[in-house]
Amino acid sequence: MNRPRFIRPARLLCATGLATVLAACSGDRGADSASQATAAAQQQSAALALVPLPASVVPGEGRFALSAGTPLLAEGEAARTVAGQFAALLGKGRGVEPALAADGTDAAGAIRFAIDPARTGAESYLLEVTPQGATVSAGDAAGLFYGAMTLLQLANVDDAGAVSLPAVRIEDAPRFSWRGFMLDSARHFWSVDQVKQVIDAMALHKLNTLHWHLTDDQGWRVEIKQYPKLAEVGGCRIPAGDGGIEPATGKPRPYCGYYTQEQVRDIVAYAAQRHITIVPEINQPGHATAAIAAYPELGTTGQPLAPSSEWGVFPNLFSADESTIRFLENVIGELIPLFPGTYFHVGGDEAVKDQWEASARVQERMREVGAKTEMEMQSHIVARLEKYLAAHGKRLIGWDEILEGPLPAEATVMSWRGIEGGLKAAREGHDVVMSPSGDLYLDYLQTKSPEEPPGRPASIPMEQVYNFEPVPAVLEEDKRQHILGLQANMWTEHTRTFDRLQHNVFPRLAAVAETGWTPRERKDYADFLRRLPAQLERYRSWGVDYAQTPFQVDAVAEDDRTAGTATVTLVNPLGYEVRYTTDGSEPTAASALYASPLEVTLPARLRATAFDADGKPLAAARDYAWDAAALLTRTDEQLATCPDAGRLLLRLEDDGPADGERAIFNTTIFYPCWQWNGADLGGVAAVKVRAGRIPYYFQLAHDEPARRFEPARSAHGELDIHAGGCGGERIASVPLPAKLGPDGFVELVAELPQDLTGRHDLCVRFTGDTRPQMWVLDRATLQLR
């Protein structure tokens, strides 16, 4: 569904830091020498453009030419495997695929891959390139693979199409042992091929841990032979609204999917070949609706359930019975042979205890095991699972809520509610993976652009991801070894397609990778931005569909109605150079450089592009056109959230059509209200609002009391307009209709008092309960007299 867009202004981020020096320096130097060294380091870094940045890079002179005839030398199965992977990826990305030479071959002008037992340090490697050849050596297969990934990044194509490697010596090792990414397959199901695409991209970023979220309220995604209904029943849900209706028949349209155990083995083996360990997650005692739907006896209330089509925090908990614990052990027992890694994730988050508190059976069970509180009951289950896992050679890991009760010493904590849980766990002697929602949740939007897909509009931009530090300065020195590393999480409630998943993940995953790999003292955001365009080119050659929004130019125009002019602000979210034209031509590196807001006479047209340091465009030019009539309209993206609208602003998708593109709306589910700040109401006769309705598909648990709405004064509620914000005087009201138009929208015209003048904060809100459907605003227009 197409609709006009108004571009909201975003804060211009300036890349002002200095690049880290690539070769170690010692002794005192004058300011000029230091400046020269820094400039040289920046040039070297930009020329090599490696992501993540290695620990030590010493550039050499000259280049080594690569061709299909370049022999690859490798002895032993591990080295030959890596050589073959390098050749295949080079062929995919650069169109040149060298052949693996026979054992014992010693050819000039070759690339050598070697396992060197004398080299120490897990996952470390040495890479040396001269004009005569290249060598990658490592003490283990993982290090050799990562050296090959760096070699792959070094392979550049010149204007004539020739592929070569710059002369360089790189000694490298990762900073952290856990460099993770979490994929949520429970909310939306990803095919085997799509999961493998994620694994491929992780490997290219030197990430080594895939946390696979396989169960939740909305779906159980893995076959358990002892409990077949988990996948057959728990793996299907009916989406909310029109998305859950088959258009041709009007019958329910289930959304289904699960991985067979054979598919899991295939994916795990595929990841292992790329030195990625998969950590499965079976969530308990909360996020259990899909499992209870399959086997109601597992629940606390005994009431029948269905896998949910809603999002949020649910009340449904597994029971605390011994039979339920045995069920969890049986499930884990079937999965252990499929996942040979060390860790098994048992969830533990957002387990609202209302059902346990109300259950006489659970209360009796608590007395049996000596649990004084419901959290201690959860801890009892965690301890049982930890013991079971330990007996099978596994370590338990769970979300930071498992710290709220007694926790086995061997348990590892994944800190998602900020870093506080991680600090507490490390100080108590537990290993920790830092994964705070405010910095590393990739379902949060990455820019303020209206072109962002559905998600959480509370944005986490690239700079914030890059600057997250997993080892807090306040953590005592003797506890810092407990920080295993970091992990970015991709929850998929609002991510319906794989294209959108890639949009959310890339390029921010590159920032996560650099934090996980690169020494802290060598990280520098400005230098990272200089290297990022080369990474984008690799994404294109590897087939990674990264987000365009961070590299586009956003624009906003504020009009002066009396003068017939507008002030236009341009911004690139990452702070790259912006150039523009006003004659409709394509912007180039020689076009006008944007430096400050532009005064234009209406009507006006503008095209704008962001450029890297080499003068290359980072994304396609964006076209903008304004006239006096267009500037009287604001979409929901441009309107502000009312100050008293509560938290949890979301960017939500319409529920239909069943297939294809859908309209997207910014709204807060706690209070349906939008605000046009500083609206010029002089000469305005009415406000026209285009509005629609979507299902209210949220469970809020203990946040439910925060949901507010204004009581309806008529059968279907009203559209109210207030001046002076939502607490100001109501100046107009229109009854809401019982039905919408054929396109799913309705246009409402609220006439304003004739004596209004000047600028006002105009509040637009709908009355009436938001359940089972909620009103959403598409756009608002000021209609002149």
- What CATH number is associated with residue 217? 3.20.20.80
Helix (H, G, I), strand (E, B) or coil at 411: coil
Over range 582-606, report the average pLDDT: 97
Q: What is the mean pLDDT of the chain?
A: 92
Q: Is residue 51 part of a domain?
A: no
Tell me the pLDDT band of 43, cut-offs 50, 70 and 90.
low
pLDDT (mean) for 138-162: 95
581: tokens are: 């034209």
The answer to whether 727 and 645 have CB atoms below 8 angstroms apart is no
147 in Cβ contact with 44 (< 8 Å): no
Lowest mean pLDDT among 15-29, 543-557, 694-708, 738-752: 15-29
Looking at residue 20, what is its pLDDT? 32
What's the rounded Cα separation, in Å, for the pair 294 and 232?
8
In the chain, the number of structural domains is 4
**316 shares its domain with 256:** yes
What's the pLDDT band for 102 if we cut at 50, 70, 90? confident
pLDDT at residue 707, rounded to an integer: 87
User: Per-residue pLDDT tens for 747-763?
Assistant: 999 999 998 999 999 99
* Sign of CA pseudo-dihedral 196, 222, 486, 699: positive
Using CB atoms within 10 Å of the CB of residue 541, give its burial: 0 to 12 exposed, 13 to 18 middle, 19+ buried.
middle
Range of the domain at 534: 178-542
User: What one-character-per-residue DSSP string does 446-480 give?
Assistant: SSS-TTS-SBBSS---HHHHHH--SS-TTS-GGGG
What is the predicted pLDDT for the residue at 10? 32
Statement to judge: residues 322 and 210 lie in one domain? yes
Last residue of a domain, one of 508, 542, 576: 542
For the chain, the distance separating the N- and C-terminal CA atoms, rounded to the nearest angstrom, is 30
CA atoms within 13 A on the CB side of 532: 33
Average pLDDT over residues 376-392: 98
Which range has the worst mean pLDDT, 507-521, 566-580, 585-599, 634-648?
634-648
- DSSP H/E element including 380: helix 374-391
Known catalytic residues?
350
Note the pLDDT tens digit of each residue in 172-217: 999 999 999 999 999 999 999 999 999 999 999 999 999 999 999 9
In this predicted structure, the answer to whether residue 538 has a pLDDT above a threshold of 80 is: yes
In angstroms, the CA 45 to CA 26 distance is 20
DSSP state of 776: E
Percent of the chain at pLDDT exceeding 90: 87
Looking at residues 650-678, what average pLDDT do you find? Answer: 92
Say what the pLDDT of residue 197 is. 98
**Between residues 18 and 752, the one the model is more confident about:** 752
Q: What is the pLDDT of residue 44?
A: 55
Task: Taking residues 291-298, report their average pLDDT.
Answer: 98
Residue 737 lies in a domain: yes
CATH of the domain at 682: 2.60.120.260
Same domain, 650 and 777: yes
- Same domain? For 365 and 344 the reply is yes
Q: Is the same domain home to 209 and 317? A: yes
In this predicted structure, the answer to whether residue 305 has a pLDDT above a threshold of 90 is: yes
What are the tokens at 254?
């289930």
Q: Give the pLDDT of residue 726.
A: 87
The answer to whether residues 403 and 352 touch, using CB atoms and an 8 Å cutoff, is no
Q: Are residues 723 and 776 in the same domain?
A: yes
Task: Examine the domain organization and report whether 583 and 716 are in the same domain.
Answer: no
Task: State the Cα–Cα distance between residues 7 and 571, nearest whole angstrom.
Answer: 10
Q: What is the CATH number of the domain that holds 100?
A: 3.30.379.10
- Among 628, 654, 678, the domain-final residue is 628
State residue 470's pLDDT score.
98
Residues 167 and 196 in one domain: no
DSSP secondary structure, 169-220, as one string: EEEE--S-SEEEEEEE-SSS---HHHHHHHHHHHHHTT--EEEEE-EETTEE
Statement to judge: residues 338 and 386 lie in one domain: yes
Same domain for 276 and 375? yes
**Same domain? 274 vs 305:** yes
- Whichever domain contains 16, its CATH number is 2.60.40
- Domain assignment present for residue 42? The answer is no
Instruction: Tell me if 410 is assigned to some domain.
Output: yes
Confidence of residue 18 (pLDDT cuts 50, 70, 90): very low
Query: What is the predicted pLDDT for the residue at 645?
Result: 62
User: Which residue in 186, 17, 131, 9 sits closest to 640, CA to CA?
Assistant: 9
Residue 645 zone, left/alpha/beta (φ > 0; ψ -120 to 50; rest): alpha
Flag whether 341 is in a domain.
yes
| pLDDT score of 23 | 32
pLDDT band for 498, please (50, 70, 90 cuts).
very high
CB 525 within 8 A of CB 463: yes
708 and 726 assigned to the same domain: yes
Would you give the distance in Å from CA 386 to the centre of its chain? 30
Q: How far apart are CA 204 and CA 307, in angstroms?
A: 36
45, pLDDT greater than 60:
no
Residue 35, domain member (yes or no): no
pTM for the whole structure:
0.93
